[in-house]
Structure 1
């Protein structure tokens, strides 16, 4: 009898321990995910796969579904890496988000020019946009939960970013893109995604976009606040206000590209525009051998501050996605200054979960 009781107690303890993961606790309230690279997907290192499937219930392709990768020529698509990413998710019971259909950066290089190198007409670009969105979304119909339809289309002051899509088509390209995506997969969720969303002017512009799309009969399910955060930005009150403002527009809110930049910022750096590049300077790379105790303390405090907000607003949030699996995979090692060593994510370079995750999990128990 004693043996049976001990066995039951041990089993209960085992179940309890196994449940202490982000996907088992945070995942009860909203999706918790990571951006994965093709290197992650094809990796033969069991630690990499375990880091992904043990901690997350959702993934997004970091690069392989962007226009330049998936549609390199007008009449040629490159499906291999995207197919492998979706299959990885399906094999491991994970939700996939498609990223992204319309973005001025990393767009198909042929999209905006004709054979003579001249800018295409409005009609031609709309036709190309239609076929790109239709073919990509249709291929994964029923397999991808939702799509970042338009990405980074506003400046921080709330004005339209003067992208080729805007310059050639005009602001109608938002409506067209969302309608093309919906027609290709009527059951897929559709999102708008942008950085610096805590800035009031940008927040207001995106709220106007959401209301405008809804008024025109477009489906839009959520807005992604990219959340490329730092140790002293964004202002937490403004950040939280954006969650409330977007939710008030009748959409869910997603933290789509979460990380914390632990390194000093170069002069004139801001936002998350990938075109920014700065020269390497060792004063901008102070933690080559690891974070100091004070820096680690700040890292823990910042992540807890953001997840405190997510716990408070869990009914308004549908997904939190970290932008990368581990510190080794983070884009912040090479941007906006190449060659640095950053510590921006919740899994370290050895693919071990960082201690602060236990404290984050407690917020949701």
Structure 2
């Protein structure tokens, strides 16, 4: 038995991968053996699609239609095509990992910001270019895009270079363009972290998802779910899952991991038990119809390749596999959530 088979009746099960994973045969065998979906950790973020050298070299030519490059994305798309595995696209619009020059006159970050209409036209053509390339050359591979990522912070819309140059409605425009150019059947998602916090859940529902739903621009909500051993509270998380689910849109768990700095057997047992509780929430919500969860993605494959150790500046043991692709107790706990306690 494997994860993708166990969860096939309920939702796709995926993992994020990096270039290191992509070029490590054992890691990719683990991916195809256990998962039926994957996400690029970094190589499909704006900085990797925008060809800023070309844009800066001929700024008049590309003023409203930025030059793009797909050299970083193609190896992942080729792998998906060759192995019959689906992809989530992550992410078209983000305040981070977007070159400052994209927002400036002549694409030069030493110049003033371009006007709103110029940036919106660049945004439209960037989204059009990415979606058209992927859908023309790799039709059916990407089943969902995180169109906009992390625009809520400190009780309001995040102050960012996007809000500074375009305004708070930049995310609506991004979804308009994505809807315009996305192929039929490709789902469009808003994605964010700490989405179980009461204030953030309510703000996202009221000020992000509801306006997009009224315009028929969004298909789903992405709960990143970078968890801790003591946060969030299970009941708060369950409430959030059901609150987003009650909107009638799809729900994806997009960046699942659980920070844990203690590799002892006792601690890894506690990690396994906590993972199982979260998967029980997903399964209960799906089976009861309280949330239409269609995809759950772990943020990388192995403890050793998790972003958390670098981000937290302490070694983390947050995932289901370790070392030479060895299954941890957490793997069997997640499997048993779907199959029952007698899982082999």
TM-score range relative to shorter protein: 0.7 to 0.9
Deviates further, 24-33 or 311-320? 311-320
Partner Cα distance (1:228, 1:311) in 2: 19
Unpaired runs of 5+ in structure 1? 1-19, 264-286
Question: Partner of 1:87 in structure 2?
Answer: 78
Partner Cα distance (2:16, 2:330) in 1: 20
Secondary structure at 1:197's aligned position in 2? coil
Unpaired runs of 5+ in structure 2? 56-65, 340-344
Question: Partner of 1:56 in structure 2?
Answer: 35
Question: Partner of 1:133 in structure 2?
Answer: 127
Partner Cα distance (1:313, 1:152) in 2: 24
Alignment of 1:254-333 (within 5 A): 254-263=252-261, 287=262, 291-315=263-287, 316-333=292-309
Q: Is this contact kept in 1: 2:250–2:293, CA < 8 A?
A: yes
Deviations 1:257-286 (A, max 9, x none): 0000003xxxxxxxxxxxxxxxxxxxxxxx
Q: Is this contact kept in 2: 1:148–1:193, CA < 8 A?
A: yes
Partner Cα distance (1:248, 1:308) in 2: 18
Q: Is this contact kept in 1: 2:37–2:86, CA < 8 A?
A: yes
Cα drift, residue 42 of structure 1: 2.4
Secondary structure at 1:313's aligned position in 2? helix
Question: Partner of 2:6 in structure 1?
Answer: 25
Cα drift, residue 147 of structure 1: 0.6
Partner Cα distance (1:76, 1:347) in 2: 39
Deviations 1:142-174 (A, max 9, x none): 3311110000000152x1001111222122212
Partner Cα distance (1:110, 1:62) in 2: 23
| Structure-2-length-normalised TM-score | 0.87
Partner Cα distance (2:328, 2:286) in 1: 23
What is the number of residues matched between the two proteins?
314
| Structure-1-length-normalised TM-score | 0.83
1:97 aligns with 2:88: yes
Match of 1:106 among 79, 97, 106: 97
Structure with a larger share of its residues in strand: 2
The structure with the larger Rg is: 1
Question: Partner of 1:334 in structure 2?
Answer: 310
Question: Partner of 2:22 in structure 1?
Answer: 41
Alignment of 1:117-266 (within 5 A): 117-141=111-135, 142=139, 143-157=141-155, 159-187=156-184, 188-208=186-206, 209-215=208-214, 217-263=215-261
Deviations 1:181-205 (A, max 9, x none): 1111241210000000000111111
Q: Is this contact kept in 1: 2:40–2:89, CA < 8 A?
A: yes
Match of 1:69 among 18, 29, 48: 48
Closer/same/farther in 2, CA of residues 42 and 80 from structure 1, 3 Å limit: farther
Deviations 1:304-332 (A, max 9, x none): 11111111112521111000111111001
Q: CA RMSD in A?
A: 1.5
